[in-house]
């Protein structure tokens, strides 16, 4: 796992983002996707909101449904996921001195045709979110299914930007600087599943 962590960190240091396959095994992806479906079937998901309090639901901006993970009611596979994140946080703190103290994660489901318009993950009123992390839970995702994460990278001249595309294949993890990199989720033809969260300072 340390080589996976290392490749993500190398990417963040060089370009502000890192992508790694096999952050989760296919077994972990399948198990988390089933827990997600169990919980969604039990009516535990809500339309995601925008802004710090997540009070405004506006599906012209984002159309996903989410459920926050909670250590206290985590299933064994959810607890194992949060443990992997805790190890990653420890690794980041040992190599990058970001002073991460906390993390928060939610499941996300994007029904077909929904999207999340270009945005930044840090709130103007709260800069504790340092790194955004997305782990995809999609089996057999094809390029033609859509749903890419587009990340906008400012060029050194600060005038132009470059766009990179991440396909949301199961087991893949993407991590980027929450306060710096704008990004968007493109619509997909299939339901798009992930666990998404933030590594925060105190
Ligand atoms: C988010 C987000 C990206 C993705 O939830 O803030 O940008 O690929 N998600 O799901
Ligand atoms: Mn985002």
pLDDT of residue 158: 82
Q: With contact defined as beta carbons under 8 Å apart, do 170 and 141 qualify?
A: yes
Which residue, by CA, sits nearest to atom 8 of ligand 1?
Answer: 149
- The predicted pLDDT at position 20 comes to 97
For the chain, the domain total comes to: 1
Ligand 1 atom with minimal separation from the 147 CA: 8
Q: Specify the pTM.
A: 0.96
pLDDT < 70 stretches in the chain: 54
C-beta of 130 in contact with ligand 1 (< 6 A) = no
pLDDT at 79: 98
Q: Does the CB atom of residue 65 touch ligand 1 within 6 A?
A: no
| Contact in structure between 194 and 137 (CB atoms under 8 Å) | yes
CATH value at residue 160: 2.60.120.620
Confidence (pLDDT) at 52: 72
Contact between 146 and 189 (Cβ < 8 Å)? yes
Longest dimension (CA), the chain: 50
Question: Does 115 contact ligand 1 (Cβ within 6 A)?
Answer: no
Q: Virtual CA dihedral for 40, 200, 86, 133, nearest 10 degrees?
A: 50
pLDDT of residue 123: 80
Strands across the sheet containing 173-177:
17-20, 173-177, 129-136, 192-201, 100-110, 65-68, 46-47
Which of 111, 132, 190 gets mutated to test ligand 1 (max ligand atoms within 8 A of its CB)? 132
Q: Identify the pLDDT of residue 2.
A: 87
> What's the confidence (pLDDT) of residue 97?
85
In a 3-state reduction of DSSP, which class is residue 132? strand
Q: How far is the CA of 185 from the centre of ligand 2 (A)?
A: 8
Verify whether ligand 1 is closer than 6 Å to residue 183 (CB atom): yes
Question: What residue owns the CA closest to ligand 1's atom 5?
Answer: 196
Contact yes or no for 91/9 (Cβ under 8 A): yes
The Å distance, Cα 134 to ligand 2 centre, comes to 9
Give me the pLDDT at residue 26, please: 97
Query: 135 CB less than 6 Å from ligand 1?
Result: no
- Ligand 1 atom with the smallest distance to the CA of 196 is 5
Q: What is the pLDDT of residue 143?
A: 96
Containing domain of residue 153, as a range? 2-200
* C-alpha span between 66 and 195 (Å, rounded): 9
The Cα-based distances of 141 to 63, 159, 169, 201 in angstroms read 20, 34, 5, 34
């Amino acid at each position: 796992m340390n080589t996976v962590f290392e490749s993500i960190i190398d990417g963040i240091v060089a370009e502000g983002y890192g992508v790694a396959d096999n952050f989760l095994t296919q077994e972990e992806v399948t198990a988390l996707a089933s827990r997600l479906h169990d919980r969604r079937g039990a009516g535990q998901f809500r339309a995601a909101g925008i802004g710090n309090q997540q009070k405004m639901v506006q599906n012209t901006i984002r159309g996903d449904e989410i459920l926050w993970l909670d250590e206290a009611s985590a299933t064994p596979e959810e607890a194992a996921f949060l443990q992997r994140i805790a190890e990653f946080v420890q690794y980041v703190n040992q190599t990058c001195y970001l002073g991460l103290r906390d993390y928060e994660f939610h499941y996300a489901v994007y029904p077909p045709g929904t999207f999340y318009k270009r945005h930044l993950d840090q709130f103007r009123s709260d800069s504790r979110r340092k790194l955004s992390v997305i782990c995809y839970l999609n089996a057999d995702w094809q390029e033609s299914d859509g749903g890419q994460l587009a990340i906008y990278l400012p060029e050194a001249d600060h005038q132009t930007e470059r766009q990179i595309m991440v396909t949301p294949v199961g087991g893949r993890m993407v991590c980027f600087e929450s306060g710096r990199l704008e990004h968007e989720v493109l619509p997909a033809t299939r339901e798009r599943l992930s666990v998404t969260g933030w590594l925060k300072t105190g």
